[in-house]
Chain A
Amino acid sequence: MSKKIKSISNPKLHLEILSPYDVRKLHDATLNIIENVGIRFPSKKALQIWESNGAVIDHEKMIVKVNPQIIESAIKNAPPTYNLCARDSQQDLPLDGNHVYAGTDGCGVEVIDIHTGERRTSKLQDVADVARVADATEEVAFHWVALSAQDKPVETRGLYEMKAIWENSTKHLQTESIYNEREAKVAIEMAALIAGGKEALRKRPVLSLMQCTAPPLGHDGGSLDASLLAAEAGIPTGFMTMSSALTTGPATMAGVLAVGNAEVISATALLQLAFPGAPVFYAAAQTASDLRNGAYTGGGPEDFLFGAATNVLSDFYDIPLSMGSFATGAKEPNWQAGIENSLSTFMASISMSDMLLGLGFLHGSRIWSYAQMMMDAEIFSIIHKTLQGITVDDETLALETIAKVGPGGNFLSQKHTLKHMRDLFLPEFMDRRPYNEWEEKKDDARDWALVKARNILANHEPDPLDPKLSKELDKMIAAEEKY
């Protein structure tokens, strides 16, 4: 199976969604929020760092107010580019602003069983299975923990999930399900084992960490402590805002961007104050809550606009972005899923968001579907092709060939055609058959996508993790469990 990773680079299409003036206004609003409203940092360590750097602290409420200069100079220490490394170094991902990579989404609680089609509670084997399928899928560049290993104890669940992914794939792992200091400590030791020691891990981070903010304008204590440990170890760390218009953010989109930006930038500044130069990234999945039931929608035009706008912000701060796209709110792979996942991913890709999360989910990142995963991969491929745009030069204008064929002929048997036909996009899951052929079978993309995933799961053998390392990982998890 191919070790290739498909990423979007050198796009020919462009979009101006925010003017430099807009970005400046958003930045000023963000600094204003951090300085005057404050951000909640419920972590002793975090509060100490803020205090020693001159922030104003309300210890009882654990709210920090910070002078704009402190934030601005701290953020400047963040490296603009670095690599997310993989067990297989051919699969390293340079976060250099000229690549868009897609990952699997996470962290869901149910899975549509690949064999029976039944929806059921997720377990550790599902984490391993998704990782194996993702390993063979070139549109997947890195992993999130797709599903929660709910058959494992809560104290070590995140560690089991990491091990399962490393055992089934050579690609980079970004976990979003390690959010306390105790588990983070072991996770970092496990990553060091995979990388070949602590210094090797710093040079080649095979693990990155994603933490959610606690909106509006707050953070989770466990997440902060875990991120500080990761930053100290040189593990790329990002904070994700899921600020949502109406509920955790204002009803206006600019307001949502400002609130979310204040959450992300304040935590990013904290990491830079503690460990200047630590690799960090911006993460976001803003949305609009549904007007009727307040639900996090994970789709709709607001999402598409946030998807394109956020990379303009992260570019302003000169740090990579991990952007929520895909992740439809649809209950099954259908019209809504197609629209939401295509448009959100197109908009996030055209502004060159570095990482996209992610493939495979239904019902707002709750229910994993292998069929949806494969169709999401095709959506990514379609956008990959679209963003290449149209090349106009002597070769592509094909004047000689046009002259040869002349009026009334066709281009099927031309050498120029043979040379370039593979530039055309060949879909795997679009129905271009004659009508009667469809009428006989009445099957569609969902059926074909599922068959593809089943084949991969049955046949793909990922490069195995050294059994000695596996055993060591087991020991580390067992030691933590006893503790």
Chain B
Amino acid sequence: MKGKPPVWIEKLLSRFLTHKQREAILGDLEEKFFRRLSNREPIWKVKIKYVVEGIGFLKMMRLKNNSNSIIIHDMFRNNIKLAWRSFLKQRATSFINVFCLTVAIAFSIPVYLFVHIELDNEYFHRNGSTVFLVESQFLKDDHLTTTGRSPKPLGPAMQQELPLITDVVRVERTNGEINLGDGKKFYQWVHYVDPGFMNMFTFPLKAGHADALSSPQTVILSDFAARNYFGNDDPIGRTFEIKTGDETKLFTVGGVTDQYPTNTSLRFFILAPYGDQPSHASAHDWKQFTTATFIKVSHASDVDQLKQQMNRFVVLHNATVTDHPMESFTFDNLYDLKRHAANVEEGLAYPPFWIAIIMMTAIATLLLLLAGFNFMNISFASAIARFKEIGVRKVVGISRFELFTQFMTETLLTGIISVAFGALLVWVVILPLMQSNGVRINDVTDFMSRPDIWFYCLSVLMGIAFLSGAYPAFVVSCFRPVVILRGRVKLESKNRFMQSLLVFQFALAFITMITCLTLFSNAFDEKDRFWGYDPSDMVSFVVKTNDQLNALMKEVSERPDITSVSVNASHVGFSYSRSTVEGEGRSNGVVTYRVSDTYFKQLDLRLKQGKFPKEPGFAVVNETFVKSFDLKDPIGKTFTMDSVYYVIQAVVEDFHYFDFQSQIDPVVMEIKNNVESGIVVVKTTPGRAENVSEAIGAVTRHQFPNERFFIHVQDKLFDDQYRSSKYIVHLFIFTTFLALFMSGLALFGLASQRMANRLKEICIRKIFGVPVFKAVMMVNGSFLYMLIIAAVISTPASYVIANILLDSIYAYHSHVNITAFLTAYVLMFVTLFITLSGKMYKVATVNPSEILRSE
């Protein structure tokens, strides 16, 4: 077995050992390390022993420093010992603290990973800071638009003429048909790239050579593609055909990459040499664009200089075109691609998934806050229970600093244990669980070795320690021993402060719950929300040729359960295109659909004005269109779109042509009958959509075995959206109960302490005949008041927060409704009542003589 001792011990020890000592000590440690290894001890055990022994040498630090450090060293050791003892002594509260913190941390780490990979999806490319994408800028409708595409000859030209550039890689991404023989076919992206691709970007190679792309007709496959194509066989040297456009070429596999983070904008299945793309003849044409041109420079600041030298290429491009001249070139760093994706057209990157980012971060933050305050309340309560100890120690002469550090050590210890548990839970349970459910946000294997995760855990730990530990430690260290030891005079005012903290915690719990319940009810509503058209009993499929259309139309027309058929160039909920409309002296971007005349009936759009047209040249627009052009009487008005005149013949109510998250834009639907290929939309008799979809699928498989058809049932088209909603719903339910649970635990801890403090008093009062109800209220009544105050405070706060969240996520959402609030209140009161009921019962039934007998 092979193994290496952990390096950090060496680094740590080197800080204070002399050269001679270092040589001797590290040598000794290593000798033992290898001796243990050769004794066939498991590597992890050997490593742990090495670390423990190495840490033992920290005491050598004392040899060099002065005597003062010895005292501090001993103090810390004492503090740790004390903290550990009190941690074990107060088993129940320690458990509550650790549990709540662990859950909050275990939730927040995957959220961190998710957000990190959403925003910094290219982090694993080592050279990323000096790699830039060249973007082209055009003037469109009076404002500058940026596209990720760039002229094909730009890359080689830049490399030749600009010495600042060290490397250029062009990427051409197209759809390809991969034919493995034996009827095995895949339809996937093919990335045609320059040979420098594997140097510029950090994709780990599993087999083969990184320079495979230098030889023609040799490809590098992703691990995913290799497994799909060849199963477990060795893919190196295997051949297959790629058909892009009308051209088919034979390729040999020269390399396979290992798994890499899937969220990169450069995600690929097949990397093929740039020279092998079908339209390579046009590579010298400045009019032709390629998907992306990446450049690498020595220093990131070089691009400022480069920007000024780019004008010559703009001129070259503009010499070939007559309309829409290019304005300039600009550079975007690899790491920023995703964040800027929303402003770049046709870029490689997709914009980040803001909805999920905002939601997850909000929930994780609320949970962490909740756990932190819970911790603070409980540690405050336990500090107050230890007043006597503190008083005595102060009299004996402990300094404030020492007392402060002692309490901070206790907080830190709990924090460290929780963070360790949390990280362990994520590593061992949550990540593998997510992975097996297909959610890949991180590689389990590199989880513990990533410095940013350590940094994140450390900052959470510091946050917890200072939020929850610093104030109690400070207050405790401030007390004057005389006051403490004389009696509990000052306790009540401190109690009031503690109560307000508890109120704050309850309020946080309310806010968490109400926010979750609101988002929950919104996600739930979404399924029943009206799309603005009727998506039921509708099947659609794409046909590519007239032959296919005729064959399938024949099949479709023979079925009795089909009521109507239309063939359209685009279809609501499936595809749309964008254009610019000019009319009434202004121009606006619109969403356009080209559909046949029967389509409107099928979709059951809500007509507001006019009637649906039958001839080309007439258009149907939505209400937003009317508003955006400020039309008083829209019917009969004309506009131009792509230099064609249209007459508005009908106005329909706004409908959600894509999803509920996006804003509804102006829509123009124009008539285009008798298209030869496109999207066939079929309306069936009620409840038959599934059967029709299956029947069409069977026909296509039989008649066109080499083609792949996309057949959709309209209701199902949005299942993905619902499914993501469903995940979110689970998340909300989970968080709500977690918040409830944490509040319950906190209250339980506090109530136990309160009762222990006041049981004697209650017993004496009972002897004097206080009614049971009053006795119960004396112990628990204040909790009720606190809860009511918390509810009052949190109502407007959660209203605002829930609204902000909904607004930032959905363009269209249901209103924040009262049910969420009521549910939260009822749940909270019931839970807390159940939590307290045990204590209440004890107060009500306790026999005074039992308690008062012993003193």
User: Do A and B belong to a common assembly?
Assistant: no
